[in-house]
Amino acid sequence: MTAIAVTIAGSDSSGGAGVQADLKTFSALGVYGASVLAALTAQNTQGVQGIHGVPPEFVRQQMDSIFSDLAVGAVKIGMLATPEVIETVAEGLLAHNVHTVVLDTVMVAKSGDPLLRPEAVDTLRDRLVPRAMVITPNLPEAARLLDAEQARNESEMREQAKALLALGPGAVLIKGGHSGGTEATDLLVTRDNVTRLPAKRIATRNTHGTGCTLSSAVAAELAKGQALEEAVVAAKAYLTAALGAADSLRIGLGQGPVHHFHALWPQLEGAEQ
């Protein structure tokens, strides 16, 4: 059977993050991708110029269309923007009995522009975090969800991940990309185990869409039948390689995207010669 994953998120008109990055990631990893557009952004590599909300009833209509027809193996949730859309997505997941959910707790774009209304954080924490198999906050997002100071080291990351577990998700993948040092270390924390996921920090400014790419890669691997830890390890390896190849792209004037098709495009170029 064909592996299918669905992204419920906002669009990125420049193609580097959001739904576009998710669909690219699904395709790169051999998974058929479907989408529910929850918000529209006017966005490029330099920032977010505008956000246009999608009516909650239309978000639900998209969800009903997909889940009534496609054999969905995993769902990735990204930017939802408003409390009303968050409520709608939570109700849709419940109605369609969806359990394999990767929740990327998107709050701020790589450029620093806000993507989630402040009043929506509580709704996200209360309605969607408990429904997730795994949530994937970065350090600022973890701190915001907990109303705490940002973690400064791995010990504090571990403690914050355990505090997030108390909110109800099955697991927490807390990302250390905002920390300093030569390594970008993430921690996958469950009720029974802590898995350390180190990677050499890659010197590139082309980091647009890294969070979207990692969470959608986890969803893709889950859709293919991988267990959670194996899915996270594979997703981390994919993102690391996409970051390593990012400077081969020349996209935009600001923070460019990672190279989602790093394993495919060189083969195509070679085939044309």
For every residue of 212-265, DSSP letters joined together read: HHHHHHHHHHHHTT--HHHHHHHHHHHHHHHHHTGGG---SSSSPBP-TTTTTH
- Of 18, 33, 73, 209, the active-site residue reads 209
- Of 210, 213, 240, 256, the active-site residue reads 210
* Long-range interactions of 116-123: CB distance < 8 A, separation 24+: 116/79, 116/80, 116/81, 117/81, 117/82, 117/83, 119/83, 120/80, 120/81, 120/82, 120/83, 120/86, 121/145, 122/83, 123/83, 123/86, 123/87
- Of 211, 213, 236, 240, the active-site residue reads 211
- Of 88, 207, 213, 240, the active-site residue reads 207
> Annotated catalytic, 209?
yes
- Of 16, 41, 123, 212, the active-site residue reads 212
| Cα 248 → chain centroid | 23
> Annotated catalytic, 47?
no
> Annotated catalytic, 211?
yes
> Annotated catalytic, 210?
yes
- Of 175, 176, 190, 236, the active-site residue reads 175
User: What are the residue numbers of the active site?
Assistant: 175, 207, 209-212
